[in-house]
Amino acid sequence: MNAFLQGFRALDTACQPKHYREDLVGEALERLQYKHGLLRKEYHIQTKFTPIGGQDLNKPLPYNPRDSVTDQIESSLATSLRNLRTSYLDSYLLHSPLQTVDATLEAWRALIATQDAGTVRKIGISNVYDVRMLITLGQLRKVQVVQNRWYEGNNWDREVWQYCRDNHIESFWTLTGSPSLLAHPTILAAAAKLDATPAQVIFKLVQLHDIISLTGTSNELHMQQDLAAERIALEGVEEEIRIVTKFIWG
């Protein structure tokens, strides 16, 4: 709720009780509407269908795991809409590819159906690090959103990023697991010159490369800094940006 009061207008969650509480998100959105006049059309909701492998079987499941994948998605979507107190989603993702390509394709067809019905505006997939999966799904319908963990351990996900950029796919990356980037001398030098934080420099840099960053901070100061990153002009640090861009994207 504090993030919206600071100025954020988009949120990402999942129908996965072991890590997310969609119901509390929905409660906060309702409070924002009644106490602060925030209308549904003014913000973006993205949530996900989480396959059974990503669920905690000791917690209430949003679907019957014995059902077909198609029926699981129908049940999970209904649960998300109820939790989030909305009649539609701006973006609905597969939380990850399923165990087999055939199962993933069945799930993708189910997402296509939700989009055709008007319940979902954009469809996509998260945690997909093989471009071939995006190409396979795209044969049924173009993947419109990709959300991945962006970090040095997966070589900055260069192939998926390039595919998203070439095919005009909206991409969200989380800046986790990248201590060497935050501590990179050129990032530190650029931040000092710009009177900004290293995180702000990285946020701005990835925005220039058509990546939308996700932030999970609960610190109000960091929220304000994250929003302010968009307004940073990378003037006077061209050489530092060239070096770090080569470091990330080659």
Distances (CA, A) of 194 to 154, 224, 238, 246: 29, 16, 12, 20
Q: Which residue has the tokens 């770090």?
A: 244
Integer-rounded Cα Rg, in Å, for the chain is 19
pLDDT of residue 155: 84
61 Cβ contact list (under 8 Å, min separation 6): 17, 52, 55
Judging by beta carbons within 10 Å of its beta carbon (0-12, 13-18, 19+), is residue 155 exposed, middle or buried?
Answer: exposed
pLDDT tens readout for residues 179-201: 888 899 999 999 999 999 999 99
Question: Is 177's pLDDT higher than 80?
Answer: no
Question: Of 197, 195, 199, nearest to 179 (Cα)?
Answer: 199
pLDDT grade, residue 175 (50/70/90)?
low
| Domains of the chain with bracketed CATH | 1-174 (3.20.20.100), 176-250 (no CATH)
pLDDT tens readout for residues 20-73: 999 999 999 999 999 999 999 999 999 999 999 999 999 999 999 999 999 999
- Report the alpha-carbon distance of residue 217 to residue 199 in Å, rounded: 12
- The tokens describing 201, both together, are 């420099």
pLDDT of residue 169: 93
- The tokens describing 28, both together, are 């906060």
- Report the alpha-carbon distance of residue 216 to residue 223 in Å, rounded: 9
pLDDT of residue 153: 81
pLDDT of residue 65: 96
pLDDT of residue 149: 86
pLDDT tens readout for residues 218-234: 999 999 999 999 999 99
Please say whether the beta carbons of 117 and 98 come within 8 A.
no
Beta strands 170-174 and 145-149, pairing class? parallel
- What is the chain's percent helix, strand, coil content, to nearest 5? 50, 15, 35
- The tokens describing 216, both together, are 């999970």
pLDDT grade, residue 154 (50/70/90)?
confident
Question: Is 164's pLDDT higher than 80?
Answer: yes
Question: Is 17's pLDDT higher than 90?
Answer: yes
